[in-house]
């Protein structure tokens, strides 16, 4: 089967096998990873390796700390402004998807939000360019890849040039393409899309931007406490961190981010060229902003859409249905999706178009 779900989503087969084994007998300890104390040397080694792999794969400098936190990306929507924004200060936000809009709503609880670009009026089908970001903004928040609408910022240079600290929700494209990750002051990602199992967030933060807000923070909400305690301030989501570590190891074995990016490019090129070639299918995102992770497309005829979805299912391709607000189809091509999966999907599309066209 090929799983095109947007999240939780496909992970490498070897990760599933190793994770399954670890539940029965973790590294020949005779214990399940599920019953292992998080303060044991055995688990500490897992956490250390996961953190080290993130630093290595992202080429992080010494100022950037790696954290594994609870609460999903949705917790970062408020933890970010809580730590970075005073009530009388401004943060700049881009409104490019339902996720970005949620982040904006949460930030407004803590300070002033200036929406510097929005494509909401066009059903988020493109990315607003030429953003004017106030120099006084404490940070600029972007969603690097818009999971629901299938857009992705291709050129980060305009953000770097603002001179304002950049915060990025990279939930659905982290570690999928080469970026200068050190240019970001805070990156967060729910693990369940490209890094591992649901239940943990990967957060990369430049420690120099912390400790500048006036408000008192709950212990669990202050990033500095997590840094100090090596993501073990309380019981971490042990199994979810382990699955991340295995997935990061797998990524390193593939040749790291540049190697996976090459395959991701091939997968996206194949699927988009198929959509563009076949008049029965239509891409929904502006061509220049097309996401390489989540490919959204529709048909004009709702009955035909249903028929194609059924055909996908029959042929072992799941998760191709689009999000409810956009309809049609969404195929997620995360790192673990092999090129063969996209070849199978496009073969089905070609066949369907030929029969119906």
Ligand X SMILES: *Cc1c(COP(=O)(O)O)cnc(C)c1O
Residues forming the active site = 99, 169, 193
259 annotated to a ligand binding site = no
Find, among 83, 122, 76, the residue nearest to 100 by Cα: 76
Binding mask 309-338 for ligand X (x = CB under 6 A): ------------------------------
Q: Where are the alpha helices (DSSP H) in 145-203?
A: 157-160
Interface with ligand X includes 256 (CB under 6 A)?
no
Q: How far is the CB of 171 from ligand X (least distance, A)?
A: 4
Instruction: Closer to ligand X by CB, 58 or 278: give it.
Output: 58
CA 193 to chain centre: 6
Contact flag: residue 7 with ligand X (CB under 6 A):
yes
Number of residues that bind ligand X (CB under 6 A): 12
Please tell me the number of Cα atoms within 13 Å of 276 on its side-chain side: 10
Q: Closest approach of Cβ 315 to ligand X, in Å?
A: 26
Element at 251 (helix H, strand E): helix 238-253
Give the C-alpha separation, 162 to 134, whole Å.
9
Q: What is the nearest approach in angstroms of ligand X to the Cβ of residue 98?
A: 9
One symbol per residue from 170 to 189: x for binding ligand X (CB under 6 A), - otherwise; what is it?
-xx-----------------
The correct pick among 4, 43, 78, 99 for binding ligand X (CB under 6 A) is 99
Beta-bridged to residue 297, according to DSSP, are 283, 329
Nearer to ligand X, 116 or 349 (CB): 116
96 lies in the binding site for ligand X (CB under 6 A): no
**Burial class for 20, CB neighbours closer than 10 Å (0-12, 13-18, 19+):** exposed
172/231 with CB nearer ligand X: 172
Q: Under the criterion CB under 6 A, does residue 291 sit at the interface with ligand X?
A: no
Beta strand extents in 213-346 (DSSP E only): 282-283, 294-298, 317-318, 329-332
- Cβ(101)–Cβ(120) under 8 Å? yes
Among the candidate windows 35-43, 66-74, 124-132, 264-272, which touches ligand X by CB under 6 A? 66-74
- Angle, helices 302-314 vs 339-356, to 10°: value is 130
Q: How far is the CB of 175 from ligand X (least distance, A)?
A: 14
74 is in an annotated binding site: yes
Contact by Cβ (8 Å): 340, 317: no
Site mask for ligand X (CB under 6 A), range 188-207, x = bound: --x--x--------------
Kind plus residue range of the DSSP H or E element containing 55: helix 41-57
Concatenating the DSSP letter of every residue in 68-124 gives EESSHHHHHHHHHHHHH--TT-EEEEEE-SHHHHHHHHHHTTTSEEEEEEE-GGGTT
If one asks whether residue 150 binds ligand X (CB under 6 A), the answer comes out as no
Q: Contact positions toward ligand X, by CB under 6 A?
A: 7, 72-74, 99, 143, 147, 169, 171-172, 190, 193
- Sequence ranges of the binding site for pyridoxal 5'-phosphate: 73-74, 99, 147, 169, 192, 234-235
């Amino acid at each position: 089967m090929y799983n095109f779900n947007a999240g939780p989503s496909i992970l490498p087969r070897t990760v599933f096998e190793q994770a399954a084994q670890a539940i029965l007998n973790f590294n020949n300890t005779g214990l399940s990873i599920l019953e292992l104390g998080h303060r044991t040397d055995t688990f500490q080694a897992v956490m250390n390796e996961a953190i080290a792999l993130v630093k290595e794969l992202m080429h992080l400098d010494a100022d950037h700390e790696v954290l594994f936190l609870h609460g999903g990306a949705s917790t970062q929507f408020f933890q970010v402004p809580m730590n970075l924004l005073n009530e009388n200060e401004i943060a700049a936000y881009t409104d490019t998807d339902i996720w970005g809009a949620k982040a904006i709503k949460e930030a407004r609880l803590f300070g002033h939000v200036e929406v510097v670009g929005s494509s909401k009026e066009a059903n988020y089908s493109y990315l607003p360019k030429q953003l004017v970001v106030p120099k006084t903004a404490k940070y600029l928040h972007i969603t690097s890849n818009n999971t629901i609408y299938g857009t992705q910022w291709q050129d980060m240079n305009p953000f770097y040039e603002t001179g304002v600290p950049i915060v990025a929700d990279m939930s659905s494209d982290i570690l999928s393409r080469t970026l200068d990750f050190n240019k970001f002051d805070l990156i967060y990602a729910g693990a369940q899309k490209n890094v591992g199992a649901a239940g943990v967030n990967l957060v990369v933060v430049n420690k120099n931007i912390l400790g500048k807000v006036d408000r008192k923070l709950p212990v669990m909400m202050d990033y500095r406490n997590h840094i100090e305690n090596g993501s073990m301030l309380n019981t971490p989501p042990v199994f979810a961190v382990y699955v991340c570590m295995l997935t990061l190891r797998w990524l390193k074995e593939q040749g790291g981010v540049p190697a996976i990016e090459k395959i991701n490019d091939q997968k996206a090129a194949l699927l988009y060229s198929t959509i563009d070639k076949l008049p029965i299918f239509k891409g929904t995102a502006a061509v220049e902003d097309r996401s390489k992770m989540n490919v959204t497309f529709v048909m004009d005829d709702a009955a035909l859409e249903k028929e194609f979805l059924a055909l996908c299912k029959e042929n072992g391709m799941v998760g191709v249905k689009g999000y409810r607000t956009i309809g049609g189809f969404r195929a997620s091509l995360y790192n673990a999706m092999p090129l063969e999966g996209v070849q199978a999907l496009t073969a089905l599309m070609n066949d369907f178009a030929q029969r119906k066209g």
